[in-house]
Structure 1
Amino acid sequence: MRIGFLLVLLSGIGLAQAAPPQTLRVDIQHAGDAKSERYALERVVVEPLPWPGNPARPIDTTNRGAQKFEVVDPDSGRVLYSRGYSTVFGEWQTTDEAKQMQRSFQESMRFPMPAKPVLVKVYGRDANNGFSPLWSVRVDPQALDVERVARPAPARPIAIRRSGDSSHKVDLLLLGDGYTAAEMDKFQARARALADRLFNVSPFKERAADFNVWALAVPVPESGVSRPSTGVHHVSATGARYDIFGSERYVLTLDNRAFREVAQYAPYDAVEIMVNGETYGGGGIFGQFSTVAADNDWRDYVFVHEFGHHFAALADEYYTSPVAYASADTPRVEPWEPNVTALLDPRHLKWQDRVAAATPVPTPWPKAEFEEHERQIQARRKQLREQRRPEAEMSALFREEQAYTDKLFADAPYRDAVGAFQGANYSATGYYRPQLQCMMFTRADAFCDLCAHAIDQIIDLYSTAP
């Protein structure tokens, strides 16, 4: 029965006749502390669905991600497949906890099944933000310990938007967590609404035909996900919860195996985990997954913002909200993220070709007024959480915050210019963002030009020929 369902699914997305390779997943453990890291192979899995990726773009040339993996033919040395990505471990490594103890995190690398044994090589950023080799492992797809038998699908994926063959589309999976069997209609309705929102924001709006969207949720016994800071603990289908790294709004899963075991029953290049909760929250890891609290009043913004992290490796441009992980205030090298710069040499700005000759660099903006108001907002925000006030009060505070910012920026001299605006990447002074306003800076409703361009490049990676 499972095989019959898979054939129907594959036929519906144009994969059954194309006979793509199977999907191989390499699960690893990534461990260490603030000053060290190491890797170990956990398992190799043949996923139940064929490879959904773009056969014309096996090599990632975008230079995104804190890390990169390559699948290499050991005989010729030829790179067969590569992708940049970031990790939960990489974020944890900058926390205070990482200075005091060691931890291990699960990660996965997925690629089309090779015909013979390959080397999987992992790279990380060096002191100059170039990629340097960190670890490698030989993977034999025919080895006896490769897991090949998939369990019966725990739920059926639903086609929210179907544009064509997965091999030339971005397959986005909306993965629900915290929904009971009685709440499946609620999940599907919210998934459709969030997908509609995504394709109302440029550049996704203009590139909607390049996407397939799937929705999949495994029912859980109790409604909602865990929020340990309030004593709430629930069984989870993916491991997603609030309070990651001690941040009350940070939602991730640290159970990579659980989320992959569910996600593998739908074609996917990107995954957004929708948690059934009304408390503001979300998160995004490039090349891994993103999350959103799907019942919160700000879900539309959080969904698209966090998807920007996960899908296109966009950096946060804000710097006034507290975060659990750190960024240097005095960077020594240019960051690899496409939408922030250290402005080490104003004569050679990262996005110089988009800056008008009349725009000064650094670019003036009402920074002092913005920061003074933000100090008040963040103090009130902290108080609301400490007093466990109703979520409606937090939503109202965010509306007030955005209204003030919009009014403040309305008459700014370089409101629509591309330049270098000081304050980004969690730092008030060390980094610069390309435009005054963007979804990666405030709760605005649009991406800046640089972020939109960066998103377009990743869409091309999954949907077009070179």
Structure 2
Amino acid sequence: MAAALALVCSAGVTATAAPQPSIAQPPATVRLDYTHSGNALGEQYAIERVLIEPLPWPGDMAQPFDATDRGNNRVEVVDAKTGDLLYSRGFSTVFGEWKTTEEASKISRGFHESVRFPKPDRPVRVRILRRDERNAFSVAWSVEVDTDAQDVVRRQGPAPARPFAVRNSGPSPRKVDLLILGDGYTQADMKKFEADARRLSDHLFAVSPFKERADDFNVWAMAVPTQESGISRPSTGVHHASALGTRYDIFGSERYVLTLDNRALRDIAQYAPYEFIEILVNNDTYGGGGIFGQFSTAAAGNDWADYLFVHEFGHHFAGLADEYYTSPVAYQASSTRMEPWEPNVTALRDPARLKWKRHVQAGTPLPTPWPKAEYEAESRAYQQRRAALRAANRPESEMSELFKEDLARSNALFAKAAYRNAIGAFEGANYEASGYYRPAMQCIMFDRSEQFCPVCRDGITDIIDLYARPTGVK
């Protein structure tokens, strides 16, 4: 039998997985760090370093290729001599989001990025692909990597914090490994971080399809203590130092929470097994964010933390698109209506080839009618009140009450709609009032409702299947 994976938790208790069928010794984990820079018109890449992370590769070596066609980018690792594909994964980047902002049309910026892959037994070429004007992947940059070369970083310093097990379902290669990182938690806040991580993880696995696939996940957690509680919120003059550098006001959006310090993030995360990362920030102010294949964030102390955790994880884990379109965002509208790669939105070029057609019952019209005009009228009034509350820096409890009122109005409006429970093509999604369509009238990717629609559940299940083999499957 393979040795059970064990980590020491913050309370000093060892969490041990149940015995599992024997699996091969996993290879080391390679990380390629590079700089991605440019502007709205072009981009460049430059290698920074190659290193071997402290822990072995957490993934399933029997599933090295990603066929989900998700993400704005894809990493491919190929044999340097033969060109044979050895590993691939789709992902998106912070740079890719920034490139769509107004700022990117005025200046150039650089962002630190990383790709990770199992250590090969030969020199390889690592290729970064991006979607072109046809929405197909083409090579944007490639670099040869020899993981046995002398300039590869092989030894890391001591871990800055101790990871603990929140959920341990079995050996990492057979499971999805989720790492919850804390930011803005002082040493005195560590018990609070552990409680937040367990509470929000429990909620994630109460939502389908994570609920039905809970045994396919391991969840780990760790936090590097900060000197002050909470993270930076520059729009209100709050600036706090932290190891991860997570902050509000990303790209000028008061609710958008990310870290732009990828190197710091990866240097901390490498001390726990992970394929996906959720950052909990020790704040009460509503906010979060999620980048497919990178990380997601959520304000753990907010009244809507359950929703934030699950919604933003939907972006990060499965590449689900935002289905709302009435809230202000930092991104500029696209001049074209290219079919999105995200599984839960469509430009509906051809209703007969709708990507979620199998969920649509005969007789459901495409596009599908819904009380769009009434919803938009109510939403305009709501957004004005929301902006006024933020401008006046009113207590967060008032914002929370506004969110409750908004959700109640939407529920009441939709309850009377003819296609309330149908899967169809409802216009208004992907930050656009027209030209893009979502599968359901209501879903957690559209508003603060509690559940994913069937199409989003399918999108999530595809990713779970890519990373996890259920018990009994060889």
- Hey, what's the Cα distance between the residues in 2 that align with 1:383 and 1:174? 33
Residue number among 375, 388, 399 corresponding to 2:393 in the alignment: 388
Which residue in the other structure is 1:311 paired with? 317
Which residue in the other structure is 1:264 paired with? 270
- Hey, what's the Cα distance between the residues in 1 that align with 2:136 and 2:171? 35
- Hey, what's the Cα distance between the residues in 2 that align with 1:327 and 1:460? 33
Mapping of 1:94-109 within 5 angstroms? 94-109=100-115
Q: Aligned AA for 2:232?
A: S
Question: Offset at 1:61?
Answer: 0.3
Mapping of 1:157-172 within 5 angstroms? 157-172=163-178
Structure 1, unaligned stretches of length 5 or more?
1-5
User: How many aligned positions are there?
Assistant: 460
Question: Offset at 1:377?
Answer: 0.5
Residue number among 436, 455, 458 corresponding to 2:460 in the alignment: 455
Matched, 1:241 2:283: no
Change (3 A) 1:245 1:277: same
Question: Offset at 1:412?
Answer: 1.1
Change (3 A) 1:11 1:375: closer
Is the 1:173–1:267 Cα contact (8 Å) retained in structure 2?
yes
Which residue in the other structure is 1:360 paired with? 365
Q: Aligned AA for 1:354?
A: H
- Hey, what's the Cα distance between the residues in 2 that align with 1:57 and 1:435? 32
Mapping of 1:66-85 within 5 angstroms? 66-85=72-91
Which residue in the other structure is 1:339 paired with? 344
Matched, 1:41 2:47: yes
Matched, 1:116 2:143: no
Mapping of 1:187-198 within 5 angstroms? 187-198=193-204
Mapping of 1:257-336 within 5 angstroms? 257-328=263-334, 330-331=336-337, 333-336=338-341
- Hey, what's the Cα distance between the residues in 2 that align with 1:349 and 1:217? 43
Is the 2:52–2:153 Cα contact (8 Å) retained in structure 1?
yes
Which residue in the other structure is 1:134 paired with? 140
- Hey, what's the Cα distance between the residues in 1 that align with 2:24 and 2:161? 25
TM-score (norm 2): 0.95
- Hey, what's the Cα distance between the residues in 2 that align with 1:382 and 1:114? 52
Change (3 A) 1:213 1:7: closer
Q: Aligned AA for 2:447?
A: T
Matched, 1:434 2:434: no
- Secondary structure at the counterpart of residue 327 of structure 2: coil
Question: Offset at 1:74?
Answer: 1.8
- Secondary structure at the counterpart of residue 322 of structure 2: coil
Q: Aligned AA for 1:378?
A: Q
- Secondary structure at the counterpart of residue 220 of structure 2: strand
Post-superposition CA distance 1:2-34 (Å, at most 9, x none): xxxx98679946899842101000011110000
Is the 2:175–2:468 Cα contact (8 Å) retained in structure 1?
yes
Is the 1:422–1:433 Cα contact (8 Å) retained in structure 2?
yes
Structure 2, unaligned stretches of length 5 or more?
9-13
Residue number among 157, 160, 178 corresponding to 1:154 in the alignment: 160
- Hey, what's the Cα distance between the residues in 1 that align with 2:15 and 2:136? 42
Post-superposition CA distance 1:424-445 (Å, at most 9, x none): 0000001000111100000000
Change (3 A) 1:426 1:323: same
Which residue in the other structure is 1:54 paired with? 60
Q: Aligned AA for 1:290?
A: S
- Secondary structure at the counterpart of residue 160 of structure 1: strand
Q: Aligned AA for 2:464?
A: I
Is the 1:153–1:265 Cα contact (8 Å) retained in structure 2?
yes
- Secondary structure at the counterpart of residue 110 of structure 2: strand
Which residue in the other structure is 2:427 paired with? 422
Mapping of 1:19-38 within 5 angstroms? 19-38=25-44
Question: Offset at 1:156?
Answer: 1.0
Matched, 1:228 2:234: yes
Post-superposition CA distance 1:233-289 (Å, at most 9, x none): 111121110010111100000000111111111000100000111110000000000
Post-superposition CA distance 1:287-336 (Å, at most 9, x none): 000000110110000100000000000000000001111342650x2111
Is the 1:86–1:285 Cα contact (8 Å) retained in structure 2?
yes
- Secondary structure at the counterpart of residue 376 of structure 2: helix
- Secondary structure at the counterpart of residue 444 of structure 2: coil
Question: Offset at 1:158?
Answer: 0.7
- Hey, what's the Cα distance between the residues in 2 that align with 1:20 and 1:352? 40
Structure 1 stretch 409-418 or stretch 384-393: which is displaced more?
Answer: 409-418
What is the root-mean-square deviation of aligned Cα atoms in Å?
A: 1.7
Which residue in the other structure is 1:372 paired with? 377
Is the 1:326–1:426 Cα contact (8 Å) retained in structure 2?
no
Change (3 A) 1:381 1:8: closer
- Secondary structure at the counterpart of residue 385 of structure 2: helix
